[in-house]
Amino acid sequence: MSNWSQRLASLFRDHQKHLENRVARNINDREAAADIVQDVFCKVLNHGSEPAADETVKILYISTRNAMIDHIRTAHRRQEIMGLVATEQIMPSVLPPDTIMEGKQSLQSFEKILLELGVTTRDIFLLRRVQNMANADIARKYGISVSAVEKHIARAMRHCQKRMSDLSE
């Protein structure tokens, strides 16, 4: 093992945990942080020429910070791209056309049943079941108690279940 390799191995032992902790705090992934730090040390080792003794630690810290920033940017880009991809593009529908048509008809029937509800009950039901809004937030929005919200939701559920069973008979 060359003098440079030994020196870098010693720096790795001395600074590895500190660098990993810094990266992990920013990316919230300890395994990825360890990979980033190890990659930086490998790149510095493979770079070839040994920097000045007092510059090596600075280079390691700056390189680690830059690698962390690249990791964050890549993760953000990946999330943005995946956000633009529709589920159907990832996993296309393999349902037979008649099943799709039955589903559309059921959805249309359900929409008609929802229109039979009072406006407030329907809106509360949709806020809870479709938009996943918390009962407490719905109560605040309508100026009613959480119990009243629960009663509206229960009323809507009973109505929809009864009407859907009537249709299937």
Give me the CATH number covering residue 134: 1.10.10.10
Boundary-marking domain end, from 84, 112, 138: 84
Boundary-marking domain end, from 49, 84, 119: 84
- Indicate if 79 and 116 belong to the same structural domain: no
- Indicate if 79 and 97 belong to the same structural domain: no
Burial of 161 (C-beta count, 10 Å sphere; 0-12/13-18/19+): exposed
CB atoms within 10 A of CB 41: 19
Q: Both tokens of residue 80?
A: 């943005």
Range of the domain at 55: 3-84
Number of domains in the chain: 2
Residues 6+ apart with CB under 8 A from 136: 146
Boundary-marking domain end, from 84, 107, 130: 84
- Indicate if 142 and 80 belong to the same structural domain: no
23-73 per-position pLDDT tens digit:
999 999 899 999 999 998 888 888 766 766 668 888 888 999 999 999 999
109-154 per-position pLDDT tens digit:
889 999 999 999 999 999 998 889 999 999 999 999 999 999 999 9
Angle between helices 30-46 and 3-27 (to 10 degrees): 150
Residues 6+ apart with CB under 8 A from 135: 128, 146, 149, 150, 153
Give the separation between CA 33 and CA 11, rounded to whole angstroms. Answer: 17
5-21 per-position pLDDT tens digit:
788 788 888 888 999 99
- Indicate if 159 and 115 belong to the same structural domain: yes
Give me the CATH number covering residue 12: 1.10.1740
- Indicate if 152 and 122 belong to the same structural domain: yes
Give the separation between CA 168 and CA 101, rounded to whole angstroms. Answer: 16
Mean pLDDT of the chain: 86
